Amino acid sequence: MARPAPARLQALLLHRAAKPAVWCLCLAPLAWLLYALFTRQLGANPAEALLRSTGDWALRGLCLALAVTPLRQALGLPALARLRRLIGLFAFFYAAVHVLCYLWLDMGWQWALALDDLRQRPFILVGTLAALVLLTLALTSSHRAVQVLGAKSWQRLHHSVHAAAWLALLHFYWMRLGKNQWAEVAVYAAIVAALQWWRIRYRRVLARP
């Protein structure tokens, strides 16, 4: 088991400014993208850059949300738990912006065309499934949802964030498949796999007599 973290670090995480600071950090990528868009710094294809970047930040947000519990356990920082929901909601936020960019910039709000794309391209299907899982988790992230569903059912539902991460990775892999760009996919896959390994290992340690 991890030793308790220094009281000063715990106090910083519990400070009332901690959540606003995380809000600002999570919004910084979007602020930069909007600034780059309006100052024409997104390259020759701004639509593709927006679509790719919002998807990247959704996946990064998922990795950060999944990392909160292992970091809390490894570093002895229980105060980190109060930031997990916020980070998870920002992962959903960037996934939602990613989907909206796709519907707007790629499909031109033509729903029939989007449905055809969904049927014909597997990477669109798995990306949509990942977004739907994140939507479900976002809609049930409140304390009221815990009371309605019950703690155990709510916890089982929110374990599906791991499925969302693997679906998002598969979506990302298929996106890169045609370009032979494997390095970035491998990095994210290694991160998600390591976090899954820690979760399984920690449960086994706790289960020992």
> What pLDDT does residue 3 have?
54
Asked if residue 53 belongs to a domain, the reply is yes
Amino acid (one-letter) located at 77: L
Determine the length of the chain.
Answer: 209
Judge whether 66 lies within some domain.
yes
For residue 88, being part of any structural domain is answered with: yes
* Residue 84 is assigned to a structural domain of this protein: yes
What is the extent of the structural domain holding 196? 7-207
Tell me the per-residue pLDDT of 165-199, one tens digit each, with 9 for 90 and over.
999 999 999 988 766 677 889 999 999 999 999 98
CA distances from 83 to 22, 74, 130, 199 (A): 8, 16, 22, 18
Q: How many distinct structural domains can be found in the chain?
A: 1
pLDDT in tens, 98-132: 999 999 999 999 999 999 999 999 999 999 999 99
User: Has residue 2 been placed in a domain?
Assistant: no
